[in-house]
Amino acid sequence: MARTNSFQTDMPAPVAPRRPQTRRCGAHTIEDAYAWLRAENWREVLRDPKALPSAIRSHLLAENAYCQAALADTVPLQRTLVAEMRARLRENDSSVPAEDGRYAYFDIEREGCEHPLHARRAVLADGSLDEETHIVLDANALAAGHDYFRLGALAHSPNDRYLAYAVDTQGSEFFEIRFRDMQTGADLPECIHSATEDLQWAADSRTLYWVWRDDENRPREVRRHVVGAKTQDPAPLYREEDDGFFLGLGQTSDRRFILIEAHNHSTSEVRCLDSHATSAAPMLIAPRQEGVEYHADHAGTNFYILTNADGAEDFKIVTAPETAPQRANWRDLVGAKPGVLRLQQRLFENFHVRLERENAVPRLVIRDLRDGSEHSLKGEGAVYDLTLEPLYDFATTRMRYATSSLAAPEQIFDYDMASRTAVLRKRADVPSGHDPDAYITRRLYATAPDGAQVPVSLVHRKDVRLDGTAPLLLYGYGSYGITVEASFSAKRLSLLERGFVYAIAHVRGGQARGHAWYTAAKGKGKPKTFDDYIAVARMLIAQRYSRAGRIIVMGRSAGGLLAGAVMNRAPELFGGVIAGVPFVDVLNTMCDDSLPLTPPEWPEWGNPREDEEAFDCIRRYSPYDNVREAPYPPLLATAGLADPRVTYWEPAKWVARLRHCAPQGGPYLLHTEMQAGHGGANGRYEELKPLAMEYAFAIKAAGLALK
């Protein structure tokens, strides 16, 4: 049965020509009528979006025009939404300064500026901060003249002389690393190209460690750059030969070691570099073993290692002597406890802090290393977010954490671990006004088909009638062990104030209920993610939070896969689907090892080239491969032309196939950012525009007045 279409427009939807191509995947042949939308020069397009072939560009622009026409009546609403969201921003704002020896570093937001200013203030003898603020980097000046600009990581040298910073001007995540002399304010002439945004200074304040990307956009080598040197040593300190492993850089809490971590989605391996011995070779802590993950930190003469070794599915913390850190010398400090997932650790001279989660609820546990005593910190209520905030100090009793909820804005505290007292450093507010007490937050549970209890975090205004008439936006992700936290968003208030219920489905594939919650929906178990989400939607309908046809699906990236899969499985439940940069062409992508992320993704999804069961499983759920004639709800899909994570042609092909196979459903809208990557439009105000478009789509799909 066809749906009533409220997205009427006189403009016909673009029709992508069908030009069937075939490719081999293991023992199988796959036919793809829209494979031509993938540019043969896609590697060049990542570095220069203007290199996109004209036929493909014309099609994407036609899709953008059709999307704009279908949403034309929402344009005044989109402007209203942008104005609302902007009014909730504190235009002139700053982060809490983080002291590091002679200076405290922080970021400043200024009214009308898209990007932050990085600043510092001198630390006085009594520990207070000098009143004078020095701007060391203005990202707005760097962004001038670029259609897209993203400031990545930045790091000051230990002697406070140099600032290394990474910038991306395409959205492809090929970063440039530049150097600024903070004494003169001038940039040095040297520049590093084809880098990730990972960067770490050695103790000498001249040597910077960085990661080089190859032409496939894979982080491949750790290299060393010496500021001011006339020649640079081209030899990598470490090269990762396995296409299936990522490379990243870190630093121990005491800054004694630079960490090189190679990992995929189930296995990791760490090497360390003595920060004070820049000519030394990396030292391997423990060789990689399939299925074993570990992450290292250091204090005193020991490494502290967070790991799932020895069957510790939810991770434990072990220690090992720095002179002999091999597996044989690992000794339990915090043993494994099923159902209590250890997420993160931070070390101080006399204290060890860990972030853990039990039954979707986070807490911080502080351990005194001198006597082994422990105490914990939690947020308020049953539904909240809790995070460790960055600090440079090591020889201190102070840690910093932040907490918020779906209804209450973020608060940042400095906590004295010895006296167990907290000082509020910053309370975020909503300048246009916000009363947390006007909202209700809840934790609910839905029963999946196999009996699993799926947590749901939910918020709505107190005056919303729970009689099944309310529109509901149901957000989900469900991959890589990533858990969507129940944190505050001032932007989300635009939906809540219009009577929406907002819910997060903590489906399997994330780690809301421990590591087993992730592995249960990994590889061949992936369909459990979709079963969980549909079970949540049905529970919310049964409890009269909404009704079928008024639930709006929302997911991004791998969450876009979730959106596409549940749209195929139960289209009758949903009034609209918002799929941001969605990973929907799973079978074709996982069969193509030339794409940037395919080999590293095989542990997550399975390798259909070599595993017949993986091929069959992916083929049964891949959204693109399971489009059928069905009464699909309206769809808004987005893409980024320079996206190296989910390539632009995935949503483009998906929308084309939906129009061909299910012309009575929809409409199917596609908006492609022609000068952006996976994160979409960049900038504090610019990013409000695509979000306003998505919210306007949701409001219209739910049948609300466009105001």
- Per residue in 182-229, pLDDT (tens digit) is 999 999 999 999 999 999 999 999 999 999 999 999 999 999 999 999
* pLDDT, average across residues 38-50: 95
Catalytically annotated residues: 557, 643, 678
How many Å apart are CA 414 and CA 395, to the nearest integer?
15
How many Å apart are CA 106 and CA 568, to the nearest integer?
46
* pLDDT, average across residues 246-273: 97
* pLDDT, average across residues 456-472: 98
User: Per residue, what are the HEC states of 232-244?
Assistant: CCCCCCEECCCCC
Residues contacting residue 135 through CB under 8 Å, at least 6 positions apart: 108, 117, 118, 119
Residue 85 has phi, psi (to 5 degrees) of: -65, -35
Asked if the model's pLDDT at residue 7 lies above 90, the reply is no
- Per residue in 426-441, pLDDT (tens digit) is 999 999 999 999 999 9
Residue 2: predicted pLDDT: 43
Alpha-carbon torsion, ordered 330, 332, 333, 337, to 10 deg: 140
- Per residue in 79-130, pLDDT (tens digit) is 999 999 999 999 999 999 999 999 999 999 999 999 999 999 999 999 999 9
Percentage of the chain lying above the pLDDT 90 cut: 97
CATH entry 3.40.50.170 includes domain 21-87+442-701: no
DSSP code per residue over 302-358: EEEEEE-GGG-TT-EEEEEETT--SGGG-EEEE---TTEEEEEEEE-SSEEEEEEEE
Write out the E strands in 202-282: 207-213, 219-226, 238-239, 246-251, 257-263, 268-274
Q: Specify the range with the lowest mean pLDDT, choosing from 227-236, 535-544, 696-705.
A: 227-236
How many Å apart are CA 513 and CA 456, to the nearest integer?
12
Q: How many CB atoms lie within 10 A of CB 332?
A: 12
Written as six digits, the tokens of 482 are: 């990533």
Residue 8: predicted pLDDT: 82
Residue 5: predicted pLDDT: 63
Asked if the model's pLDDT at residue 373 lies above 90, the reply is yes
- Per residue in 276-288, pLDDT (tens digit) is 999 889 999 999 9
Mean pLDDT for the chain overall:
96
Band of pLDDT at residue 1, cut at 50, 70 and 90: very low
Residues found in the chain:
707
How many Å apart are CA 200 and CA 211, to the nearest integer?
10
- Per residue in 528-550, pLDDT (tens digit) is 999 999 999 999 999 999 999 99
Residue 4: predicted pLDDT: 53
Residues contacting residue 456 through CB under 8 Å, at least 6 positions apart: 443, 444, 445, 446, 503, 504, 505, 506, 536, 539, 540
- Is residue 655 packed enough to be buried (19+ CB in 10 Å), middle (13-18) or exposed (0-12)? buried
Asked if the model's pLDDT at residue 520 lies above 60, the reply is yes
Q: Are 200 and 249 contacting, i.e. CB atoms less than 8 angstroms apart? A: yes
Q: Residues 591, 597, 602, 604: is their CA dihedral positive or negative?
A: negative
Kindly report whether the global pTM for this prediction surpasses the value 0.95.
Answer: yes
594-617 as b/e: b if 16+ CB within 10 A: ebbbbbbbbbbbbbbbebeebbeb
- Per residue in 583-612, pLDDT (tens digit) is 999 999 999 999 988 999 999 999 999 999
Band of pLDDT at residue 6, cut at 50, 70 and 90: confident
- Per residue in 144-188, pLDDT (tens digit) is 999 999 999 999 999 999 999 999 999 999 999 999 999 999 999
